[in-house]
Every structure is written in structure tokens, then in C-alpha cells.
Amino acid sequence: MGGMIPLRDASREPNRYPLATTSIIVVNALVFALEIMGGDAFVSRWALLPSAISSGHHLVTIFTAMFMHAGWMHIIGNMIFLHAFGPEVEDAMGSGRYLAFYLLCGIVAALGQVAVAPHSTVLNLGASGAIAGVMGAFLVTYPADRIKAVFFFFIFFKTTFIPAALLIGVWFVMQIFDQVGAVAATQGGGVAYAAHVSGMICGAVIARPFESFRRQWEA
């Protein structure tokens, strides 16, 4: 079993503490604790059901589902990616704009998944779509930065530095191919790859308008 864990942007440090990114991570952790305590009833109430959204019901879950996760590995993986890419994007936008940007990407990601599988009865939950938006913004804002990452294969680990454009670009292409395979195999079940693709495209498109006036002036 192999994979990659992005750790941080090795090319720069944020000029200010990433308050919004930290707050989002804390909220995700608190909601996950509520999931554990509430069990299946809590998940069924607040996770997104595409067929319900398509019929105009439980619209609040478009928002609530982006703070929920299916298990420990799901939330840990998502928060690692958010911690790796979020602080620099927040630094470019400012905390307030960044928070609005994050939520908008999450909403677009959820709607993208619903659009692909409007009649699906598979519950959707997770911050992946919103975080994909953050990665899209990072790709637009800091494409030449190098990301410190850990590659692993079974018990073998190697720390390396990889250009952000390559790392995020490969990830995005994988999501597209995975989405095609998921639709062909299950017609909308399984991992919400459409949310990943939708979120990243949204983040890349709206990143510049959300950047702070300070950064636009410096550019």
C-alpha cells in the first residue's frame, strides 16, 4: 500500500497566523466528535442525500455535510491536506475572504455531486470538496512553490519536495479518471469524485477575486 502525504509549503511561510484554517480544522474535529456520540441518526440527519436535495428537501445539509466525515482516516486525511495548503491561501486572501471562499467551494462541490447523481441515495459527507477548492486556489496563486511531502510504500518512507503544480495537477487528473470510473461502475455511489472536481475548478476560477487588495496591489 502506497501513497503521498503533503506536509507544508516549503517555499514560503504565512505572514500571519492562519486563524480561519485552524478554526475550520477545530470545527471539523468537534463535529466528528458529535458524529461519534450521535451515531447513525446524527449522520442521517446532517449528511447530504442527493435525491433529497434534488427534490428540494434538507437543503441545509449542503452546508452541514462539508463538516462531517465517514471515519478517522477520512477526517485525518482531509485535515492534513487542509493544513498543508490552507495557510498560504488564507494569507493571500485574508481570513474573512478565505472563510467565505472555503464555504462557497464546499457548496459548489456538493451541488456538483448532486448534479452528477441527482437520484442517488448514497449519503455524501466530508470536507474534500471545499479542500479541493483550496488546492485549486493554491495552484493558481503559488504554482511554482515546492511542497514538502512524504511518499510511502508499505513500510518505506521518503521525504521529498515536489512542485505544487505537479502535485495538485496529478491529483486533479486522478479525480477525473476516478469519477469516470465511478459513474461507469455505480452511477453515483462510492467516493464523491464529482465534488472533488467541482470544488477544485471553483477554487481555481474564483481564487483571484477573493485575494486581498494587498496581494493584488503587490502583483
The DSSP-derived string for 4-31 is EEEEEESS---SS--HHHHHHHHHHHHH
CATH architecture observed for domain 2-218:
Up-down Bundle (1.20)
Joined together, the cell numbers standing for residue 194 give 464529482
Joined together, the cell numbers standing for residue 12 give 514560503
Name which of 152, 150, 151, 147 is nearest 167 in CA terms: 147
- Given a cut of 50, whether residue 183 has pLDDT beyond it is no
The whole-number pLDDT of residue 194 equals: 85
- Given a cut of 90, whether residue 3 has pLDDT beyond it is no
The whole-number pLDDT of residue 76 equals: 94
Give the chain's count of helices (H) and strands (E). Answer: 9, 3
Contact 16, 91 (CB under 8 A): yes
Query: What mean pLDDT comes out for the span 168-196?
Result: 61
Question: Residue ranges of the domains in the chain?
Answer: 2-218
| Buried b or exposed e, range 171-184, using 16+ CB within 10 angstroms | bbeebeebbeebbe
The whole-number pLDDT of residue 134 equals: 98
Task: Give the integer Cα–Cα distance in Å for 219 and 207.
Answer: 14
Please, how many CA atoms are within 13 Å of residue 185, restricted to the half-sphere of its CB? 9
Start-to-end CA span in the chain (Å):
42
**What does the pLDDT look like over 11-46, one tens digit per residue?**
999 999 999 999 999 999 999 999 999 999 999 999
**What does the pLDDT look like over 116-162, one tens digit per residue?**
889 999 999 999 999 999 999 999 999 999 999 998 777 788 898 99
Tell me which of 81 and 188 has the higher pLDDT.
81
The whole-number pLDDT of residue 102 equals: 98
The whole-number pLDDT of residue 213 equals: 60
